[in-house]
């Protein structure tokens, strides 16, 4: 019989890590990818973030709240990439 951990790790640190990676990856795509390929690369980034979300939560090793943490990670990543992509899309409409 195993004893419960006295001070378990915070389960939501993984959620914040995925959000931070979503922010940085979206900004990197917006800066380094040409305008005609941006949407495609944003989709690739989001797919990678979904996989990262599962990997981070599986690494945590707790079944309690797994679906909720993955849903929070993926939803936050979707909102962040969507807002950043919208910002770069609106910026592309401004004539240079």
- 3 pLDDT above the threshold of 80: no
What is the pTM assigned to this prediction? 0.86
The 10 Å CB-count burial string (b at 16+, else e) for 31-61 is eebeeeebeebbeebbeebeebbeebbeebe
- How large is the average pLDDT for residues 59-64? 84
- 21 pLDDT above the threshold of 60: yes
- Give percent of the chain above pLDDT 90: 73
- Delimit the domains of the chain by residue range: 13-93
* Nearest residue to 56 via CA among 24, 21, 18: 18
| pLDDT tier at 7, thresholds 50, 70, 90 | low
Distance CA 72, CA 67 (A): 9
Question: pLDDT value at position 2?
Answer: 64
């Amino acid at each position: 019989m195993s004893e419960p951990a006295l001070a378990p790790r915070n389960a939501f640190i993984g959620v914040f890590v995925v959000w931070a990676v979503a922010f940085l990856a979206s900004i990197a795509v917006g800066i380094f990818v040409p305008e005609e390929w941006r949407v495609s690369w944003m989709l690739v980034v989001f797919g990678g973030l979904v996989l990262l979300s599962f990997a981070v939560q599986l690494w945590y090793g707790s079944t309690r709240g797994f679906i909720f943490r993955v849903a929070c990670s993926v939803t936050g990543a979707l909102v962040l990439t969507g807002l950043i992509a919208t910002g770069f899309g609106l910026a592309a409409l401004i004539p240079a």
